[in-house]
């Protein structure tokens, strides 16, 4: 890793640093001039990736296929959208009214029907490393302007102390492959053992849970006081002090928001979770999903507008609607899972629009696969590799588009086949100057493959 040079960093030197995660916060802030001299390599944008773990159905979300025979078409019916001639599954009631504000892809395939962490982490396409870790390898582990972690992972426990641990049984959502642990997603989830460090050189990336983050900073304030301590440090140290006692801590505390806005996001009031059927083994995760998804989306918006670069949200494997002993039927499951999704995502879009952040924040919603064209004997749908629903909003992309089409039974792409590498390229093209990166030395080949492995979704550019 290169040492810091006084206001003289070339683009190549900045890239070879790769991550600022190993530096003290004052040094992170000192690197702000390096970012400027790098010529805008890292765009002032953020990805919020809502990973629908379990595999959502394309039929009951954005491609209902109501002209197909019974047993194939959406079992929840359809609802017209704000785009003429386009319908969604009827659970997507709020999103249907604002379909012109986002785009959907009806020809997206993840090419595998296995439960895992694709398309966030793919052994085939991302060398087993989190997509956000590839981004952080280029952008740095922390935003040098305020120390905000660039790459974050949010699970229910980040906003709900009663929630269970992050679901890792079908793949770790924090894997960094060969990139190394310095690029792992920052996880404010209430998990892990925090070794509190009250030194000024505290690195936010070491604060691995939300509650301890806030408690640590409150304790630090009491130790050092709020008097004139900042004046005793140089400009970067002073800025670091202000960051740790202000911006970073405040960003993780959604109670700072207007109560009316919190209520708009809140999905916990959509239903009485005690009425979720106890016959499903997945019931605790349904409850967590209902109670947490809206607040997770609100937290993501707060972090995005405060300097985060890649935020992953997952609510612990709730979209697997086989209608077996673990998972609900399609109709019942869409009530437990789809309705909170519709509410939380629409609230997020409305909020981002109201704040003028549409071009700054790219929202991506998809799972690791789709569901079978035919309803099974128990009124569920099974795993399916051919098609998976995909929603994209913001980031400067074209909105109000329906990309591609599926076959009559909704099982395969009929036109404009889009794959995981196309999605990767679209995301990276949004947050990074990929043209410059293509010609730069020092970028690991696995990172280059993620960035340049395929064309972006050209219909949205």
pTM (2 decimals)? 0.84
Q: What is the pLDDT of residue 244?
A: 55
The answer to whether residue 49 scores a pLDDT higher than 70 is yes
pLDDT at 363: 99
Q: Is 25 left (phi over 0), alpha (psi -120 to 50) or beta?
A: alpha
**Is pLDDT of 362 > 90?**
yes
The Cα 337–Cα 62 span in angstroms is 15
Residue-wise pLDDT for 364-400, tens only, equals 999 999 999 999 999 999 999 999 999 999 999 999 9
Of 78 and 32, which is predicted with more confidence? Answer: 78
Summary mean pLDDT of the chain: 84
DSSP state of 211: H
Q: 447-460, pLDDT tens digit by residue? A: 999 999 999 999 99
Pairing of the two strands 78-80 and 87-89: antiparallel
pLDDT-above-90 percentage for the chain:
68
Distance (Å, rounded) from C-alpha 289 to C-alpha 346? 16
**CA–CA separation, 337 vs 345, rounded Å?**
12
Q: What pLDDT score was predicted for residue 161?
A: 87
Our CA dihedral for 163, 166, 167, 172, rounded to 10 degrees, sits at 180
- Identify which of 75, 92, 65, 117 has the alpha carbon closest to the alpha carbon of residue 366: 117
pLDDT confidence of residue 167: 87
Which residues are paired to 42 by β-bridges? 432
When pLDDT is averaged across residues 138-156 and rounded to a whole number, the result is 89
Tell me the per-residue pLDDT of 161-171, one tens digit each, with 9 for 90 and over: 899 988 888 88
The answer to whether the peptide bond before residue 119 is cis (omega within 30 degrees of 0) is yes
* 115-140 pLDDT tens trace: 999 999 999 999 999 999 999 999 98
Confidence of residue 193 (pLDDT cuts 50, 70, 90): very low
In 3D space, the residue among 318, 314, 316 whose CA is nearest the CA of residue 296 turns out to be: 314
Shortest CA distance to 57 belongs to which of 424, 265, 323? 323
Q: What is the pLDDT of residue 12?
A: 39
Indicate the class that CATH gives domain 44-194+257-460: alpha beta
Q: What is the pLDDT of residues 60-87, one digit of tens each?
A: 999 999 999 999 999 999 999 999 999 9
- Greater confidence, 327 or 232? 327
Question: pLDDT value at position 27?
Answer: 53
pLDDT in tens, 202-253: 344 444 444 454 554 455 444 444 444 444 344 444 444 555 555 677 898 9
Q: What are the boundaries of each domain within the chain?
A: 44-194+257-460
Measured from the Cβ of residue 459, the count of other Cβ atoms closer than 10 Å reads 15
**pLDDT tens-digit series, residues 277-293:** 999 999 999 999 999 99
For residue 51, the cross-strand partners are: 314, 366
Residue 198: pLDDT band (50, 70, 90) is: very low
């Amino acid at each position: 890793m290169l040492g810091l040079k006084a206001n003289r960093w070339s683009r190549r030197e900045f890239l070879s640093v790769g991550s600022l995660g190993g530096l003290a916060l004052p040094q992170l802030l000192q690197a702000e001039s390096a970012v400027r001299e790098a010529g805008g390599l890292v765009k002032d944008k953020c990805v919020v990736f809502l990973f629908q773990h379990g595999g959502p159905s394309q039929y009951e979300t954005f491609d209902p296929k109501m002209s197909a025979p019974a047993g194939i078409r959406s079992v929840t019916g359809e609802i017209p959208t704000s785009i003429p001639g386009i319908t969604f599954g009827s659970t997507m009631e709020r999103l249907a009214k604002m379909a012109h504000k986002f785009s959907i892809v009806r020809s997206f395939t993840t090419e595998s029907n296995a439960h895992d962490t694709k398309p966030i982490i793919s052994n085939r396409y991302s060398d087993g490393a989190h997509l956000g870790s590839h981004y952080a390898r280029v952008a740095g582990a922390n935003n040098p302007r305020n120390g905000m972690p660039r790459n974050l992972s949010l699970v229910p426990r980040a906003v709900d102390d009663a929630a269970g641990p992050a679901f890792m049984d079908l793949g770790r959502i924090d894997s960094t492959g060969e990139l190394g642990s310095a690029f792992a997603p920052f996880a404010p989830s209430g998990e892990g053992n925090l070794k509190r460090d009250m030194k000024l050189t505290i690195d936010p990336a070491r604060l691995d849970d939300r509650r301890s983050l806030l408690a640590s900073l409150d304790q630090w304030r009491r130790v050092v006081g709020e008097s004139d301590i900042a004046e005793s440090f140089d400009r970067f140290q002073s800025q670091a002090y202000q960051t740790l006692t202000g911006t970073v801590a405040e960003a993780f505390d959604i109670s700072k928001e207007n109560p009316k806005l919190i209520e708009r996001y809140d999905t916990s009031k959509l239903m009485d979770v005690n009425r979720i059927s106890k016959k499903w083994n997945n019931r605790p995760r349904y409850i967590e999903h209902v109670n947490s998804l809206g607040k997770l989306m609100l937290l993501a918006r707060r972090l995005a507008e405060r300097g985060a670069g890649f935020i992953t949200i997952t609510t612990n494997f709730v979209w697997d609607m086989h209608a077996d002993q673990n998972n609900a039927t399609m109709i019942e499951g869409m009530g437990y899972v789809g309705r909170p999704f519709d509410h939380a995502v629409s609230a997020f879009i409305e909020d981002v629009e109201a704040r003028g952040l549409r071009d700054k924040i790219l929202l991506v919603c998809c799972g690791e696969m789709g569901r079978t064209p035919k309803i099974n004997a128990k009124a569920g749908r099974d795993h399916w590799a051919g098609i998976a629903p995909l929603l994209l909003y913001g980031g400067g992309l074209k909105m109000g588009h329906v990309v591609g089409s599926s076959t009559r039974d909704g099982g395969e792409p009929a036109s404009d086949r889009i794959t995981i590498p196309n999605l990767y390229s679209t995301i990276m093209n949004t947050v990074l100057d990929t043209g410059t990166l293509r010609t730069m030395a020092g970028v690991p080949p696995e990172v280059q493959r993620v960035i340049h492995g395929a064309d972006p979704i050209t219909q949205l550019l």
